[in-house]
Amino acid sequence: SDQAIYYQQLGGYELFTKEDTQFFNDCLAKRETVNKLIKPIFKEYIFQLKENVFNFKNIQNTYVFNKFEGQIDTGKMMEALLQKVQSLGIKILNNITVESYEDISKGVQIKTNQVEFQSKNVIFTTNGFASQLLQEEVTPARAQVLITKPIKNLHVQGTFHLDKGYYYF
């Protein structure tokens, strides 16, 4: 439920650096086309322009705003997800290194550093090291997470995306 994951619909903001004027202008030029494409779903234009009301530095004076975007507490989301899948009888194995897997007639044979077993289905939910098992080109990326207690009277509310979504807060 929305309450279980602390969902809040505070809107989302696309921020563009002052140095990335070309990308900013390209996005603005495509905004009306995208709005027209998705209007039948939302019954109105989604992407609106807003001034830099939060006074972020080195950011274009205009944001692209989506009032339908929300935010969740990812810790609460994981807790709710675990409860849901466990109630369905799905087993989740953590802190196990999968060394290999092979498709077999009954599903998948999986060899780990601790045990070997068969499963009807397997979902790989790994990080940037997925290329060690899958034939996919995945490159680990460095990221930083800053966690605080809720800050009272914080005037910056919503979700914010910067550098083509690479950074978000």
Task: Note the pLDDT of residue 145.
Answer: 77
Task: Note the pLDDT of residue 164.
Answer: 86
Please choose, from the candidates 140, 159, 125, the residue with its C-alpha nearest in 3D space to the C-alpha of residue 54: 159
In whole angstroms, what is the distance from residue 168 CA to residue 75 CA? 17
Extents of the domains making up the chain: 12-73+151-168, 93-138
Task: Note the pLDDT of residue 67.
Answer: 95
Measured from the Cβ of residue 164, the count of other Cβ atoms closer than 10 Å reads 11
pLDDT in tens, the chain (169 residues): 899 999 999 999 999 999 999 999 999 999 999 999 999 999 999 999 999 999 999 999 999 999 999 999 989 999 999 999 999 998 888 888 888 899 999 999 999 999 999 999 888 776 777 777 777 787 777 777 778 888 899 889 999 999 888 888 8
Q: Can you read off the two tokens belonging to residue 17?
A: 């650096």
15 neighbors 60 (Cβ within 8 angstroms): yes
Task: Note the pLDDT of residue 161.
Answer: 94
